[in-house]
Structure 1
Amino acid sequence: MLSVNQPHPALGVLVQCRPGFETDAAQELLTESRRLAGRIDTRNNSGFVYLALDVPAPHDEIRRRLDISRLIFARQAFQVLAIIDDLPERDRLTPLKQAIQSFGERFSALLLETPDTNDGKEQSGFLKRFGPLLQESLNQAGLLRPDTPHLPRLHLFLVGSRQAWIGISLPSESSPWPMGIPRLRMPKEAPSRSTLKLAEAILTLLTPAEQQATLRAGLQAVDLGASPGGWSWQLASRGLRVTAIDNGPLAPSALATGLITHQRADGFTWRPKKPVEWMVCDMVEQPSRIAPLMAEWIASGRCRHTIFNLKLPMKRRHEEVERCRALIDQRLRPAGIKYTLRIKHLYHDREEVTCYLTRR
């Protein structure tokens, strides 16, 4: 067994994504990892992409050369320490435990994962039964330390019944949820399922401290393109007072909150009389129109924070995201405005990415 002072080198980086977005995830991973010598392996609709290093490397060296927290199309990502291709059907626990012990690491948590595909769903049932057994075995061996959050997290990613990928990540660089999927329940009162998209964006794109500081009851918000009111309802459920802008109707459940005022107007031309804390936008429009509009709201001081969606084309999604990033920068940087822009392809997103933009 390796000593704790000599951690096992990583073989590469595995990125989990929405099935069908492997090309985008691979292109982004290749762009961000240019300082790492390796090759990209992927299959269409597999739900994951693998960067295989030419030579195994220490964890810190990979992190210096690749910030996986910046990846947009990655729901989840981790450094791969081992790939087991021939798990026995009768006793999978023994080889997995032996491999994990050989890393010479202790872990703060165990994340049990599969690709988000139909084949992956077949393995999720097995993991529900097998996971507690593995966790108990690792606890008994002293390898799991949930009381020590600074330790890396252990990932077990099953591809089929015989193949297991084992790796690690730091809490600061990947999703806290297995497979990068938060388990959110659809509120009965919400006007549409789009409310889950904003709920996930808040959890994913804002830190707990940022959520507490900026989503306080009584603050003013604007929802551009609000109909039927899913995003407005999400903000109102947190106590914010929302002006919902849309020529279309709002659902009665949105108006029933008593915190949402509906104004029939065009989201591109309407302006608030006074600055607001938040502006959110889920309008179905070209990304090249949405991005400059969001930047203008921030630059003009109409809002302090914004969360918005960019509806992407079927092809060249990565290029379109970078184009929109440049449009935002072209408005804010010449004005001397320092800003934070975070972009993520969320679980509840489909052909879009969700962005958080705020002044620093």
Structure 2
Amino acid sequence: MSGLLCYCRGGFEPELAAELGERAAAAGHAGYAVTERGSGFVRFLTPAGDAAGLSRALPWRSLVFARQKLRLLADLDAVDTRDRIAPVLAALQAGAVDGTLAPRFGALLVEHPDSDEARPLAGLARALGNALRPALRKAGLLAAKDDPRRPRLHVCLLAGDHLLLALGDPADSAPWPMGVPRLRLHPDAPSRSALKLEEAFLTLLDDGERARLLRPGMTAADLGAAPGGWTWVLQRAGLQVSSVDNGPLRQHVLDGGGVEHLREDGFRWQPPRPLDWMVCDMVEQPRRVASRMATWFREGWCRQAVFNLKLPMKKRWLETSLCLDIFGREAGLPLELRARQLYHDREEITVLAIPTGR
């Protein structure tokens, strides 16, 4: 049995499992999800044994609820805690990668799911990584220096005696341990919500796209801006921002220049001329938000956007699918959508919409 290992936010395992199952079936791949609520990860197993084909059919950037997507190599349970290294070497040397010889990995990440149960394993993960790294190099399984072009070896600790081995394709997985970019809240940020937009730009755009699409002098609207967290992120990028909210903005954001505060309803306001960006983090029914965001594109009010959809407590994958379908249908333009439940999101997802081909 082979398949995928995906990390997610604790409590959203059913949503990730449903997403993987639906998308795999649509791509013609049989399989099933194995998970427990609160575990922070999902294994999607395929009896056909074609993990590589399944992985290609489910690219990481297309997944909404997966922080990380890896190809499973081995499940090592009940290992001798006096020697965890030998079973790892044996599994890799036995040719655990689709029945072929294990590659020389470019990097090693020893990690654990982001769950209450697994967090105490952080110290063990560090110690195991320090011991395993030289052993892998001696066995010819790990490059002498980190090589970002080669596949990464991920060792996921589920317990002291239970390890999952997985492969991370550098072109089709998150580059950060546990799939989480480590961002620090800047002392000048008006609110913690600033981290959501910073993470969205970091994870949903690549380096070249950020350079092209976030240039100083561009124009943007922040709908529901107060107290100004998302406006502040745009301002720091050099954009000219119309901040739309009846509530107040932090004074230092207004004093920083390039921001016009419009005391209006962000859900009704429309710009007098087309803008480069629209961002929106308003608390509203997700289908209503999706429809309003589509209006912005249909009417030509913006070229690209980032917006959040606040999800209900149940059937969240179904609601996500419906909202993305509403947006795509009503926008009436060829757009590329990238949606993700970010680390700094809670009961919501963040959506990036950009013109196709950008």
Range of TM-score over shorter length: over 0.9
2:7 matches 1:16:
yes
Greater shift in the superposed pair: 75-84 or 133-142: 133-142
Asked if structure 2 preserves the Cα contact closer than 8 Å seen for 1:247 and 1:264, the reply is yes
1:2-41 equivalence runs, <5 A = 11-34=2-25, 35-41=28-34
- Which residue among 110, 113, 135 is the counterpart of 1:112? 110
Q: Which amino acid aligns with 1:28?
A: E
For each residue in 1:194-249, what CA deviation from the matched residue of structure 2 results, as whole angstroms up to 9, or x when unmatched?
00010100011111101011111121111000011110111111111211100011
Q: Which amino acid aligns with 2:217?
A: G
Q: Tell me the equivalent position of 2:139.
A: 141
CA distance in 2, matches of 1:162, 1:257: 54
1:37-186 equivalence runs, <5 A = 37-57=30-50, 59=52, 61-103=53-95, 104-145=102-143, 148-186=147-185
Asked if structure 1 preserves the Cα contact closer than 8 Å seen for 2:308 and 2:348, the reply is yes
For each residue in 1:306-325, what CA deviation from the matched residue of structure 2 results, as whole angstroms up to 9, or x when unmatched?
00000000001111111111
What SS does structure 1 have at the residue aligned with 2:49?
strand
Aligned pair in 2 of structure 1 residues 58, 41: CA closer, same or farther (>3 Å)? closer
CA distance in 1, matches of 2:287, 2:29: 32
Q: Which amino acid aligns with 2:36?
A: R
Q: Which amino acid aligns with 1:123?
A: L
Structure 1 position 67, deviation (Å): 3.3
For each residue in 1:157-188, what CA deviation from the matched residue of structure 2 results, as whole angstroms up to 9, or x when unmatched?
11011110001121232211111111001100
- Which residue among 337, 342, 349 is the counterpart of 1:346? 342
Asked if structure 2 preserves the Cα contact closer than 8 Å seen for 1:97 and 1:134, the reply is no
Aligned pair in 2 of structure 1 residues 58, 191: CA closer, same or farther (>3 Å)? closer
- Runs of 4+ with deviation above 6 angstroms: none
% identical aligned pairs: 44
CA distance in 2, matches of 1:58, 1:340: 26
For each residue in 1:76-134, what CA deviation from the matched residue of structure 2 results, as whole angstroms up to 9, or x when unmatched?
12111100002222221222233233332122222222111122111112112221222
CA distance in 1, matches of 2:351, 2:139: 42
What SS does structure 1 have at the residue aligned with 2:157?
strand
What is the root-mean-square deviation of aligned Cα atoms in Å? 1.7
- Runs of at least 5 residues in structure 1 that lack an aligned partner in the other structure: 1-9
Aligned pair in 2 of structure 1 residues 157, 260: CA closer, same or farther (>3 Å)? same
Q: Which amino acid aligns with 1:141?
A: A
Asked if structure 2 preserves the Cα contact closer than 8 Å seen for 1:298 and 1:359, the reply is no
How many residues were matched structurally?
347
Asked if structure 2 preserves the Cα contact closer than 8 Å seen for 1:13 and 1:52, the reply is yes
CA distance in 2, matches of 1:39, 1:317: 19
Q: What's the TM-score, normalizing by structure 1?
A: 0.92
